[in-house]
Structure 1
Amino acid sequence: MNGFVVTYDGKCRSNEDGFSKRQPASIQEQADGSSVRTESFASDDGALSVDSVTATYPDSAVIQRRIRVTNRSARTVRVTRLDPLCGVLPKMEYTLDYFESTNGQEFSPKSVPLAGTKVLETTAGRSSKGMHPWFALSDVHGGALAAAVAWSGNWIFRFEPLDGGAYRVTGGMSDWAFAKELRPGETMESVPVLYAALPEGGPDAVSVEFGRWGLRFWYPRNEMSRRVPVAWNHWWPYEDSAINEEVFRANVDKAAELGVEVCTLDAGWFGEPDPHCNDHLGWSENVDWVLKRGDWHKINTLRFPSGIRSLSDYVHAKGMKFGIWCEIEALGVKSDVYVERPELPAFRDGTSLGYVCLGNPDARDWAFGVLERLIVEYKADWIKLDFNLDPRAGCNRTDHGHGAGDGLYEHYLGYYELLERVRAKYPDVYLENCSSGGLRIDLGLARHTHGAFLSDPDFTRHHLQLFWGASLMLHPSACFHFTWSQTIVHYDSNLDKDPIKPGMPRHKFDYLIRANMLNGFGISYRLPELPDWAARRLRELIGFYKETMRRFVGEADMHRLTGQTIRDGRGDSWNAFLYVMDGAEEAMLCAFRLADSEPERRLRLVGLDPSAAYEIRAADGGWTQEESGAALIEEGLLLSGLEEEASEVLLLRKKA
């Protein structure tokens, strides 16, 4: 997979055709222990030079590929394709696994035999709109190759059959509607592609490699992200129309009693001082806050008469962190900023695209100023960064510092630069990546933010589908979602506006809460209105998560012991995930029996020490047993006696 493909001035060339090596490879050791190997090539016509860069990481199967292209000619060269990944798979039968995605339907699985030409691609301008930027190829011998494009815009993987049965795999940023005019002496860099191959263990084993690598080498880490805190967000039970200062404070009071650690003020806080400004459905454009995004300096003072800083101070006084939502890239056509700062909006062919083009340095400065105000004036510890539109091919204005064909490319480079600037100055602030739920989940943003929000709907079966898929690419600690929320109105996508029923058995309540304790743990409930029994049990579960579970969620390797369940009732009817700490001294097994499932399931555990004996303890108490690691691996552990829609957490520890 060490090859590359470049198309310029209509010529498609690879390292094997049209380029020759200029000099021997150089190797540089990095401060994080990774090793970067650079090979330099020159095009046969002398127009371009290409540095082919491969990064490897100690004790990791993950490899990073990128290329740098420089115009060595005296004329402008038009580059339209840059694939840092190019390689040939030997003749064999392969199964291709990937995920389709749209709002509320993220991580919808596809598994097909690799046959003929196959293209995976997104052209919506958001990395997870259409498909997620990841695939896995499994061979008949148990080996697996997985790859991901570390990019938040348009991307592509191509699988092309060759004579004799082999396959060529190429990938990187999509070449659809892309063109970069390289002036003489100018250099550009491709988006990174990460891949890992293992001879056995299948995609699950490769996912463990990606998780370990992400924690050690890729994700930005701070105290809050390492802690994997318990967060409350007001959105689903109040949305933008029912939230106000009084409601938020009442929920903060209850959150503190329950042991919550972060309280986030979602959309609804900014806008005109109008009673309907945050009721964006059905109201006129004069008060629709969606059309006024960008005016982050305004607060709806009818809803929040004391201002946002007073709410932040209130949260901090309760011993918790304060979070706030901001769709920093979005720009409504009725906003003051849109009118007063005409150099900021992204346009395509004269039409506004609804966002700030961060390819423009002035726009990056403006955006940094907004985020800095949230952090400094409002004392925000957590910023939920949303993005709710499809930029498609992006901006083609030529007065932003980019050309007509590379506006989206430069926008995302600018967004990454903005996030780096924020983290450099305010390293303790947690940055949450959200985009209409989970429509921009990729390793590009995982490099610059601390957690990825998985989806807007959050009912339990859907969440298990999401977690199973997302954790193939991201460590569980880099995933964030809510438990099955209460909603202000009924949504078909979320099945039920209030999953907490009178007389609800404890096992069903535990089931829906524990499902979200597999990753970054968020809740979105009307906390003051919770029944006493639910509040008591939620406090107990939050305490157990903080005292026991989140250490595993934040540090351990995570293995899938079952297939993926699907939100519509298909897929596996049991879900089980095993978290194994370094050295296999400890492990945590989280198992869920779904509705309409068989009454028992035998789970073969992986990642344990076969030579050790393990004590197994039920987190709810009631029983312990001892088993050898070899037996747990080879024969498995039988789970029985669970009700439908029930869960079990088992703690394993090596016997001395």
Structure 2
Amino acid sequence: MLSGFLLDIDGRRGTESEGYVKTLEAGKELPDGSRETTETYESASGDVVVASVTVSYPDSPVVQRRIQVSNRSERDIRLTRIDTVRGLLAKGGYTLDYFECPTNGLEFSPRSVPLAGTKVLEAIAGRSSRGMHPWFTLRDAEGGTLAGAVAWSGNWIFRFEPADEGAYRLTGGLSDWEFAKTLRPGETMESPAVLYAHLPEGGLDAVSIAFGGWGRRYWYPRNEISRTVPAAWNHWWPYEDSAINEDVFRANADEAAELGLEICTLDAGWFGEPDPNCNDHLGWSENVDWFLKRGDWHKINTLRFPSGIAALSEYVRGKGMKFGIWCEIEALGIKSEIGAHRPELPARRDGEHLGYVCLGNPEARDWAFGVLERLITEYKAEWIKLDFNLDPCAGCNRTDHGHGDGDGLFEHYRGYYELLTRVREKYPEVYLENCSSGGLRIDLGLARHTHGAFLSDPDFTRHHLQLFWGASMMLHPSACFHFSWSETIVHYDSNLDKDPIKPDMPRHRLDYIIRANMLNGFGCSYRLPELPGWAKARLMELIGFYRETVRRFVAGADMHRLTGQTIRTGSGDSWNGYLYVLEGAEEALLFAFRLTGGEPERVLRLTGLDASSLYELHFEDSGRKMELSGAALAEEGLTFSGMEEESSEVVRLRKLPMER
């Protein structure tokens, strides 16, 4: 369907059917069981050869496409557009679904429009999810759905353009905005991959299951931590960079161990000058502001952490937990010593410092690897939160970094992927968390190289449910990570309430807050020593339930969405239901949430079960039990009533023996 390509080289346009002639086709089986087919095309002059690569996967509708362009001439050629996919959509009515993301905190804001005229989805801020997420679905009038995603962390594009007789032309891949790649004689460039799937029925739920299952089986890196999907704590929101210190972190680690948490992550605030105000975001100054000195990761604020980070890590590990640490490895503050001492590191555009390390430069990649290796070997970090808090836009145009004046951003991301691959190859059991001002770089490119994507900075429950519904369209729940609604050091309009856990709040509301984040990789960010006694006891029970029951489903089940997407502003669906079905449909786990404004009663129709089997249902809160067939649960559904607003219910389902 999308097997073509489009190139602009030296001002001339060519496609697989115009300007290039197919000369060869070859196929091979890959170690993971997928099949790779390569079609080779040659330009009329023989100067350019294009390898058009398609990868198909057993038992999956997902298809991978990428192209490789080689310069076979004796002169330089300049490539200014490289569309990985090109295809013709049949005449008909289509609905285009996509997610906007104007800024952090507004991730996965849904848009759904009839396809009419020319429609372009594109990100040009230099981060894949800044503006729009690199994903779309196109639904036809017969119930079929085409879904597509660019596996790229920089600028990308999809174009939907009217063609002859009411048809539509779809092209996409790397954005051509401010892009140019000079290929010298003998050089080859490979495009970012585009993934797509066409499903004749099942709609958005079928798309979600297809991409989630494909990612878990074929795409994501896996290690013990990612397979376990542990329960984690991070210091950031209640302490940020201004109130964290060694004693505070240790006190929270004591409580975390007692609660059953398994990871303690030291977020921003650990490095910088030994100055009492160095990590105070409320009183920044150019002399001590750590933000301006990012890159100096060899420095520790010894006034806040007098024993050092290695000792703090040892303390956490001595409690039976793993130690995690935050690092914005790509960032480079304008006041950093390393930037001054290593002038080859900074990305610059027209001489202006862009605030990050250009990883298109091999020397920069070696430096960055050394930094991350130190965190792993000296600090014994088993979880690294990799952040990135700026928009590189078109990127670096220095020509002394090993890239040209038009492909600096492209080579930066190729270099970042290479860096992450190098870390994983040498330290395969270290978990790499992908974060970028929250969720401004959530894409299948980084999902190929990291173990989990942080969804957003704000985390109030309605916002979290909006995020999870959207992110799980292309990522399996096990590859999503977020915090339950956090306590924050100051009030943020984006997070509604800085202290969501009240001494006198009803238990059902705490359960609602915590359970919503059990849908994916579980994290929390609370002042653990200050939690009310009853809340601490209940949180311990909920963490135990997550560890003993829930995470097995999060790690390995197909997740079916039973309701529409809720919207953080209060619109959208006012109930949320998610059903996790393990392979063979022997067991399933259902989460139901009644949101503020939700009607008193809702029927959820359960998809993905064995229609011919009988299931035993156990309601976690009410203790109610019943037996219903898979067919009845799908056709008649399960009725939820009597639940308070901002409450939840969990239902365990187990297939009964055939003789029943």
Superposition TM-score tier, normalisation by shorter sequence: over 0.9
Q: Secondary structure at the match of 1:164?
A: helix
Equivalent in the alignment of 1:204: 205
Q: Secondary structure at the match of 1:418?
A: helix
Equivalent in the alignment of 2:33: 33
Equivalent in the alignment of 2:259: 258
Partners of 1:502 and 1:26 in 2: CA distance: 67
Deviation at residue 283 of structure 1 after TM alignment: 2.3
User: Does the aligned pair in 2 maintain the 1:309–1:377 contact within 8 Å?
Assistant: yes
Deviation at residue 50 of structure 1 after TM alignment: 0.2
Equivalent in the alignment of 1:6: 7
Pairing of 1:475-490 with structure 2 (within 5 A):
475-490=476-491
| Structure 1 residues 576-630: Cα deviation after superposition (integer angstroms, max 9, x where no partner) | 0111110111111101000111001111111111111111111235210111111
Deviation at residue 427 of structure 1 after TM alignment: 0.5
Partners of 1:502 and 1:299 in 2: CA distance: 36
Equivalent in the alignment of 2:291: 290
Partners of 2:174 and 2:517 in 1: CA distance: 33
Equivalent in the alignment of 1:150: 151
Partners of 1:649 and 1:403 in 2: CA distance: 55
Pairing of 1:467-546 with structure 2 (within 5 A):
467-546=468-547
Partners of 2:486 and 2:282 in 1: CA distance: 21
Equivalent in the alignment of 1:58: 58
Equivalent in the alignment of 1:113: 114
Deviation at residue 139 of structure 1 after TM alignment: 1.0
Partners of 1:497 and 1:630 in 2: CA distance: 45
Q: Which amino acid aligns with 1:280?
A: H
Q: Confirm or deny that 1:124 pairs with 2:122.
A: no
| Structure 1 residues 223-271: Cα deviation after superposition (integer angstroms, max 9, x where no partner) | 0000000000000000000000000000000000000000000000000
User: Does the aligned pair in 1 maintain the 2:104–2:438 contact within 8 Å?
Assistant: yes
Provide the TM-score with structure 1 as the length reference.
0.99
Provide the TM-score with structure 2 as the length reference.
0.99
| Structure 1 residues 525-567: Cα deviation after superposition (integer angstroms, max 9, x where no partner) | 0000000000000000000000000000000000110000000
Partners of 1:207 and 1:535 in 2: CA distance: 35
Equivalent in the alignment of 1:96: 96
Q: Secondary structure at the match of 2:165?
A: coil
Pairing of 1:450-465 with structure 2 (within 5 A):
450-465=451-466
Equivalent in the alignment of 1:559: 560
Q: Secondary structure at the match of 2:4?
A: coil
Equivalent in the alignment of 1:80: 80
Equivalent in the alignment of 1:303: 304
Q: Which amino acid aligns with 1:63?
A: V
Q: Secondary structure at the match of 2:421?
A: helix
Q: Secondary structure at the match of 2:504?
A: coil
Q: Which amino acid aligns with 2:394?
A: A
Q: Secondary structure at the match of 1:46?
A: coil
Q: Which amino acid aligns with 1:189?
A: E
Partners of 1:210 and 1:68 in 2: CA distance: 24
Q: Confirm or deny that 1:336 pairs with 2:341.
A: no
Pairing of 1:109-508 with structure 2 (within 5 A):
109-508=110-509
Deviation at residue 502 of structure 1 after TM alignment: 2.1
| Structure 1 residues 76-105: Cα deviation after superposition (integer angstroms, max 9, x where no partner) | 100011111111111111110000012100
Partners of 1:114 and 1:250 in 2: CA distance: 55
Q: Which amino acid aligns with 1:71?
A: N
Partners of 1:281 and 1:391 in 2: CA distance: 25
Percent identity over the alignment?
75
Partners of 1:77 and 1:640 in 2: CA distance: 67
User: Does the aligned pair in 1 maintain the 2:277–2:283 contact within 8 Å?
Assistant: no
Pairing of 1:543-622 with structure 2 (within 5 A):
543-622=544-623
Q: Confirm or deny that 1:48 pairs with 2:48.
A: yes
Partners of 2:572 and 2:12 in 1: CA distance: 45
Q: Secondary structure at the match of 1:515?
A: helix
User: Does the aligned pair in 1 maintain the 2:327–2:385 contact within 8 Å?
Assistant: yes
Q: Which amino acid aligns with 1:562?
A: T
| Structure 1 residues 64-123: Cα deviation after superposition (integer angstroms, max 9, x where no partner) | 000000011111100011111111111111110000012100000000001110000000
Q: Which amino acid aligns with 1:114?
A: L
Partners of 1:259 and 1:162 in 2: CA distance: 59
| Structure 1 residues 472-501: Cα deviation after superposition (integer angstroms, max 9, x where no partner) | 000000000000000000000000000011
User: Does the aligned pair in 2 maintain the 1:145–1:203 contact within 8 Å?
Assistant: no
Partners of 2:204 and 2:40 in 1: CA distance: 33
User: Does the aligned pair in 1 maintain the 2:579–2:591 contact within 8 Å?
Assistant: yes
Q: Which amino acid aligns with 2:69?
A: V
Equivalent in the alignment of 1:67: 67
Partners of 1:545 and 1:280 in 2: CA distance: 34
Partners of 2:377 and 2:274 in 1: CA distance: 23
Q: Secondary structure at the match of 1:343?
A: coil
Partners of 2:607 and 2:13 in 1: CA distance: 45
Q: CA RMSD in A?
A: 0.7
| Structure 1 residues 280-335: Cα deviation after superposition (integer angstroms, max 9, x where no partner) | 34321010100000000000000000000010000000000000000000000111
Partners of 1:141 and 1:557 in 2: CA distance: 25
Q: Secondary structure at the match of 1:306?
A: coil
Partners of 1:620 and 1:281 in 2: CA distance: 43
Partners of 2:374 and 2:285 in 1: CA distance: 29
Deviation at residue 55 of structure 1 after TM alignment: 0.2
Partners of 1:412 and 1:183 in 2: CA distance: 21
User: Does the aligned pair in 1 maintain the 2:238–2:486 contact within 8 Å?
Assistant: yes
Q: Secondary structure at the match of 2:539?
A: helix
Moved over 6 A (4+): none
Partners of 2:217 and 2:242 in 1: CA distance: 42
Partners of 1:554 and 1:219 in 2: CA distance: 12
Q: Which amino acid aligns with 2:28?
A: Q
Deviation at residue 357 of structure 1 after TM alignment: 0.3
Select between 481-490 and 625-634 the one with higher mean Cα deviation. 625-634
Partners of 2:26 and 2:47 in 1: CA distance: 22
User: Does the aligned pair in 2 maintain the 1:280–1:287 contact within 8 Å?
Assistant: no
| Structure 1 residues 36-80: Cα deviation after superposition (integer angstroms, max 9, x where no partner) | 000000112322110000000111100000000001111110001
Q: Which amino acid aligns with 1:600?
A: E
Q: Which amino acid aligns with 1:625?
A: M
Q: Which amino acid aligns with 1:285?
A: E
Q: Secondary structure at the match of 1:642?
A: coil
Select between 279-288 and 524-533 the one with higher mean Cα deviation. 279-288
Q: Secondary structure at the match of 1:84?
A: strand
Partners of 2:581 and 2:217 in 1: CA distance: 16
Partners of 2:292 and 2:538 in 1: CA distance: 41
Q: Which amino acid aligns with 1:638?
A: T
Count of residues in Structure 1 that have an aligned counterpart in Structure 2: 655
Partners of 1:44 and 1:620 in 2: CA distance: 70
| Structure 1 residues 136-157: Cα deviation after superposition (integer angstroms, max 9, x where no partner) | 0111121111010000000000
| Structure 1 residues 172-222: Cα deviation after superposition (integer angstroms, max 9, x where no partner) | 010100000001111000000000111000121011010111011000000
Question: Unaligned regions of 5+ residues in structure 1, if any?
Answer: none
Q: Which amino acid aligns with 1:569?
A: G
Partners of 1:565 and 1:650 in 2: CA distance: 21
